Structure 1
Amino acid sequence: MSQSSPALSLPYIQPSQSQKHVTHNEALRILDAVTQLSVLGYENSAPPASPAQGERHIVADSGSSGWAGHGGDIAVFGAAGWDFFTPSNGWRADVIATGAQLRFDGTTWALVEAPTQNLSGVGIATTSDATNRLAVASEATLLTHDGHGHQLKINKASATDTNSLLFQTGWSGRAEMGTTGSDDFAIKASADGSTFRTALSVQAGTAALHTPQGQIYFDDMFITNDTVHSFDIPWSDPARMLLWLGIDLPGHSYLFSMTGALTGASNFMAMFVNPASTLNFQTGALTGTTGPAAAINLAIETGGATPRMHIENRLGTDQTFTLSTLGK
């Protein structure tokens, strides 16, 4: 009959053995030392100054002092001092202070890395779900280089699918950039998370730049007859700005440019006016009846903290106006 167990080398009680309690207690001592193994430390070479009974450590590879010659062993402090147990391949230990897991590979103890391949989801300080398989709740997320640079890759299966970055307010979309529904790159904005308007797009085949919306200075602005609508101009040098002015009258459409440092009427140039002679350019503030009648009169007022544009309705009827840029 074998004298000890094959895995933990627990001593067996032999037939006709006297003082069987000695063998039994030795087996319990070994079980107590290595079963449900949790250790206070695993990187120290020398024992602590005042260990407690039952305290367990994994000796660093180069043991010293009372641990000399026991690198990698499990050191357990008992009534008679330190006892040492040699681990077998595959033994594991929990580090009490950190919860880290250690595994003995037959030569050394190493930290066990959690499996990271083909996970169903990862939530960092929040919970992932079937759609958002990676979810992060944090003030910031850092993606940095390993080498000289770093690429963030977003792939889609076909051109009609969506690749985008979506910016939300209260979980409702407000801006989106990417390739949505085609391979053209677009930047879009929304006020309600439902209707998105394209502010800028770049064609995939030609890299041609389009600004479908331009910059709308006002949309559906109602101006009564012989009154003025005024607004601050957000630039002092328009640098070849094309603007479109539309009103709610069939056949009325206006395209004009603004160039140079703003001074007055000389900054305007008509590109298209229909009907003819219904768009006039002025300098200074307008009152509602400053410019010619039966026309729309535009003016730049300077001298204040911010240049202002005035639009005077002298068409004879109340009208709804829209003014937007076509490029800059």
Structure 2
Amino acid sequence: MSDNSPRLDLPLLQPSQAQKHVTHNEALRILDIFVQLTVEEFDASNPPANPVEGLVYAVGPGGTGDWFGANGRLATWVDGAWQFHTPTAGWIAAHAASSEVRVFTGSVWSAVTGGGAASTQNLAGVGVNTTSDLTNRLNVSAPATLLSHEGAGHQLKVNKASAADTASLLFQSGFSGRAELGLAGDNDFSLKLSADGSAWVDALKLSPGQSVLTTDSMVGSVSATPGAGSAAFETGSNANGRYTRFADGTQICWKNDFTAAGSSGGVWTFPAPFADANAAVTATPLGEFARFISLLHVTATGATLNGYSQPGGTELPDTSLMAIGRWS
């Protein structure tokens, strides 16, 4: 029968042994060291000048004084003398001051950074006040989440594998998307909006390297009613000319080379109607001879013109026309 236990090297009581309490107390002292093992210093080399009863030191390479030759062993001060114990691979100890946890590899005490139950590296998921899943591997349920500096700036980085992938911040209501900000399906920076979480429109888009801003609501059908329109500008053209409408109700109509052949007058029908007959109309005659144009009448839908030329002509010359007013 062995004198000591195989794992912790505790002294065993022997048959017909006298003073069994001595052996028993020695085993208790060893257990007092090993259970909830706390170390004052890892890789220690110099014994403290005034050792404290029961404190444990993990002796590293180059032990001096009373620790000479005790490399890799645990040293503890008991009854006025140093006792040494040899750890085995897999033992775990915590640093008394910092609570740093280390595991004994069989030769050194290594910080727990991977592969152990206490590891914070390569985790399958983390749930803070909730449960993570295969998609949301970091899941936080809290009133707020703080990411702060440690003395300088701070960056939150969202990276994607390729241009066709998405790197964005998605804002949801009831877990249904309403706004998305970032690189969604390309490398243009965009703000997308959705009323139902399924159909999305680009509210803003910026092309990298071009400083070009585009938006689905910049040019389109306008409305003077706040929130009712879908665009800030509306442009169009037809046989009567071109026009631009602004969301504030302003409208500009124009036509180049207006012609009323063989006539001293003509009617210009606006390419888009105004709200009333208060549009300001300007007419500029085209050509090298002196010509004059008078404005006879303006309605919401058009303007009547007369033309004169020198000397004595009454034919309406080719004319450039513009009208500014309110469409709403």
The Cα of 1:291 is off from its aligned counterpart by 0.9
The alpha-carbon distance between structure 1 residues 54 and 270, as it changes in their structure 2 partners (threshold 3 A), is: farther
Q: 2:325 aligns with which of 309, 312, 315?
A: 312
TM-score (norm. length: structure 1): 0.56
SS state at 2:224 partner:
strand
- Separation of aligned partners in 1, 2:180 and 2:39: 52
> How big is the shift at 1:187?
2.8
Please give the alpha-carbon distance, in whole angstroms, between the structure 1 residues aligned to 2:35 and 2:219: 74
Q: Distance in 2 between matches of 1:200 and 1:217?
A: 16
**Pair 118,67 (structure 1): closer, same or farther in 2 beyond 3 Å:** closer
Structure of greater Rg:
2
1:240 corresponding residue in structure 2? none
Distance of 2:240 and 2:59 partners within structure 1:
90
Residue 189 (str. 1) matches residue 196 (str. 2): no
Q: Does 1:245 align with 2:235?
A: yes
SS in structure 2 of the partner of residue 24 of structure 1: helix
Q: 1:291 aligns with which of 251, 270, 280?
A: 280
Which blocks of at least 5 consecutive residues in structure 2 are unaligned?
149-153, 227-231, 246-252, 257-267, 282-297, 303-322
Cα displacement (A) at 1:59: 1.8
Cα distance in structure 1, aligned partners of 2:205 and 2:138:
29
Match of 2:159 in 1: 152
**Alpha carbons of 1:294 and 1:189: their partners in 2 closer, same or farther (altered >3 Å)?**
farther
Equivalent position of 1:176 in the other structure: 181
Q: Which amino acid aligns with 2:138?
A: L
- Alpha-carbon distance change, 62 to 215 in structure 1, aligned in 2, over 3 angstroms: farther
**Contact 2:242 2:254 (C-alpha < 8 Å) held by counterparts:** no
The aligned counterpart of 1:54 is 54
Q: Is the 8 A contact 1:101 1:112 kept in 2?
A: yes
Q: Higher relative CO (CA 8 A, sep ≥ 6), structure 1 or 2?
A: 1
For 2:27, the equivalent position in structure 1 comes to: 27
What count of residue pairs does the alignment treat as equivalent? 245
Are the counterparts in 2 of residues 256 and 269 from structure 1 also a CA contact under 8 Å? no
* 2:62 alignment partner AA: S
**Matching of residue 220 in structure 1 with residue 223 in structure 2:** yes
| Residues 177 and 269 of structure 1, relative CA distance in 2, 3 Å threshold | farther
- The CA deviation at 1:81 is 2.9
8 Å CA contact retained: 1:47, 1:67: yes
**Deviation digits for residues 144-200 of structure 1 (CA, Å, limit 9, x no counterpart):** 9xxxxxx933579xx8xx7341343888643334446xx897834328675632244
Counterpart pick for 2:147 among 112, 130, 139: 139
Match of 1:74 in 2: 74
Give the deviation of 1:85 after TM superposition: 1.0
Alpha-carbon distance, 1:74 to partner? 1.0
Q: What is the distance in 2 between the residues matched to 1:311 and 1:139?
A: 54
C-alpha spacing 1:256/1:221, structure 2 compared with 1 (3 Å): closer
Q: Which residue of 1 aligns with 2:293?
A: none
| 1:62 match: secondary structure | coil
Percent of pairs with identical residues = 31
The CA deviation string for residues 189-221 of structure 1, in whole angstroms up to 9 with x for no partner, is 32867563224499xxxxxx9956152599421
TM-score, length-scaled by structure 2:
0.56
The residue type paired with residue 291 of structure 1 is A
